[in-house]
Amino acid sequence: MGDEITITSGAVVQVDTASLRRAAARVAVDAEGIRGAAERVARAGEALFDAWAVPEARGLAHRCGDAASRLSTAADRLDELGGDLRTAADTYELAELRAQWLSAGDAGDGSRTREGIEERIVVLARRLLGDEQIADADAAWHALARARIELAGRTPRSLEAQVGFVAALAGGIGGALWAGAAMAALRGAIALHTSARGTAAPRAVPPSPRAATVAPAWTAPARPPTGLAAAARRIPGGDAARVRVERYDLPGGRREWMVYVAGTQSAKLGGADPFDMRSNLQLYSGEGAASVDAVRAAMDAAGVAPGEAVHLATHSQGAMIGVALAGADPDVRTLITFGSPVPAEVAPDVLAIDVRHADDPVAALAGPAPVAAQGSSGSVQVSRVVDPLPHLGDATLPAHHMEAYVETARLVEASADPRLAEIERLWQRLGDAERVTRTDFSAARGSLSPASPSAAG
């Protein structure tokens, strides 16, 4: 586990392309090593099979064959992951080069600087598109734009095959093993789409007729969170609750609210649970989703009134919901996101705390950094590498798990970084509350059945 964190001012996603390429090289070495192990195990099985007269030898030979096949499959998956990492590095670099090219023109640096940038753009475009006929930077950008249009034109139905990795968010290694195959196409769509525009599209989702209902699963007194890690632990997940709303009765009759939003809970493309793959696709496309409606319904049911400050703590799909709400609701004053698949694009008066892991493939879906910092002057972006060495356990996306983000939040608190002053003031203000009431809500697209209390802290 990596304990080094990077804190920067403003909710900006920063990607080190050199680190991505080094990771790709390490993955290639590991893939070759695993493939060699598969060959040795297969040879051992063949030798055992020659001793067919011994029953135990036959059984061991079959097991060796199965093990060799699994190792070979794992090596193939690592090869795919290495290719995805190289593709990501190239597409992120393209976005950076575009910004450098524009800056060179604005600064009047002359044609020499731009010529060097254009030569590199041609190299990357040829490699990404597999088109050696691209002659110059102008042709490269036109080719990339055509690829972006083709990718952007895909329907949600055709995207379903590319995003099976989200099954891992709902649990199960089977769904996670689709991650490598899905990431290349989806990351390509994101990076080409973003690099061609320079900035990501606004993520505000306007109010729509409610497509989800909620029911209180648990109501009880609570204590204010003492810091970022305590807030992270309260995000629902793994039980019936999808949204947790805390009401803070402050001195002088004022009220403020903390709203905690779960990530993806179902790999289905529709069904009773609104926190599913369908909502993922809709939110990522900038559309409305039933899970957004569920959070709005929970806030209404809890009694959130216009003009009362709302602070959001979110994970994964919940982070996309938070970005959507922050873009549409002026009462959202704070947005805390863990592992968000989209950039934390919020208004200048919103405090944005964006926490993401550099080795979290879901967070990588946010694409290249926005041109300008997002959020208020006290906003920060936190990054950490959870596990720098690739291994077979990466198939379960450990860097995206909420437990890993809780540990990162703990490290943030321990850093005592002065840029965290504004979020610390929030915890102090909420700590002055005369009464705190917690309500956990279950959610459904259809009718709700009785739910059990949330286990969130």
Bridge partners for 437 per DSSP: 221, 247
Longest Cα pair distance anywhere in the chain, in angstroms?
87
- Per this entry, what is the length of the chain? 457
When comparing pLDDT for 52 and 19, which is higher?
A: 19
Burial class (CB in 10 A: 0-12, 13-18, 19+), 72: middle
Sign of CA dihedral 396, 402, 408, 411: negative
Q: Is 39 helix (H, G, I), strand (E, B) or coil?
A: helix
- Domain edges within the chain: 1-16+154-457
What is the pLDDT, as a whole number, of residue 156?
A: 31
What is the pLDDT, as a whole number, of residue 201?
A: 39
Query: Is the pLDDT assigned to residue 360 strictly greater than 90?
Result: no
What is the pLDDT, as a whole number, of residue 412?
A: 93
Burial class (CB in 10 A: 0-12, 13-18, 19+), 435: exposed
Write b or e for each residue in 293-330: b if 16 or more Cβ atoms lie within 10 A of its Cβ, otherwise e: bbbbbbbebbebeeebbbbbbbbbbbbbbbbbbbbebe
Q: Give the lowest-confidence range in 20-24, 76-80, 145-149, 280-284.
A: 145-149
| Mean per-residue pLDDT of the chain | 78
Query: Is the pLDDT assigned to residue 396 strictly greater than 90?
Result: no
Position 125, amino acid: A
Do residues 104 and 114 touch, judged by C-beta distance below 8 A? yes
- Integer Cα distance of 393 and 399 in angstroms: 10
Model confidence band, residue 107 (pLDDT cutoffs 50, 70, 90): low
Do residues 214 and 392 touch, judged by C-beta distance below 8 A? no
Mean pLDDT of 52-72: 82
Sign of CA dihedral 383, 387, 392, 398: negative
Mean pLDDT of 398-403: 90
Strands 435-444 and 332-338: unpaired
- Give tens-digit pLDDT for 239-289: 889 999 999 999 999 999 999 999 999 888 888 999 998 898 889 888 889
- Integer Cα distance of 381 and 10 in angstroms: 6
Mean pLDDT of 315-340: 94
Query: Is the pLDDT assigned to residue 297 strictly greater than 50?
Result: yes
What is the pLDDT, as a whole number, of residue 230?
A: 97
Model confidence band, residue 163 (pLDDT cutoffs 50, 70, 90): very low
- Integer Cα distance of 276 and 233 in angstroms: 21
Considering 62-76, 106-120, 121-135, 398-412, the range whose residues carry the highest mean pLDDT is 398-412
Do residues 72 and 45 touch, judged by C-beta distance below 8 A? no
- E-strand spans in 171-236? 213-221
- Put simply, whether the predicted model's pTM sits higher than 0.85 gets the answer no
Query: Is the pLDDT assigned to residue 176 strictly greater than 70?
Result: no
What is the pLDDT, as a whole number, of residue 423?
A: 95
What is the pLDDT, as a whole number, of residue 189?
A: 39
Model confidence band, residue 407 (pLDDT cutoffs 50, 70, 90): very high
What is the pLDDT, as a whole number, of residue 11?
A: 55
Tell me the backbone φ, ψ of residue 227, rounded to 5 degrees: 180, -170
Q: Is 370 helix (H, G, I), strand (E, B) or coil?
A: coil
- Integer Cα distance of 409 and 431 in angstroms: 19
- Give tens-digit pLDDT for 437-454: 999 999 998 655 544 444
Query: Is the pLDDT assigned to residue 193 strictly greater than 70?
Result: no
Nearest of 145, 216, 237 to residue 456 by alpha carbon: 237
- Integer Cα distance of 143 and 196 in angstroms: 11
Model confidence band, residue 144 (pLDDT cutoffs 50, 70, 90): confident
Position 419, amino acid: R
Residue with tokens 């259809």: 446
Do residues 268 and 444 touch, judged by C-beta distance below 8 A? no
CA 230 to chain centre: 20
Query: Is the pLDDT assigned to residue 15 strictly greater than 80?
Result: no
Q: Give the lowest-confidence range in 67-76, 178-187, 427-436.
A: 178-187
What is the pLDDT, as a whole number, of residue 209?
A: 54
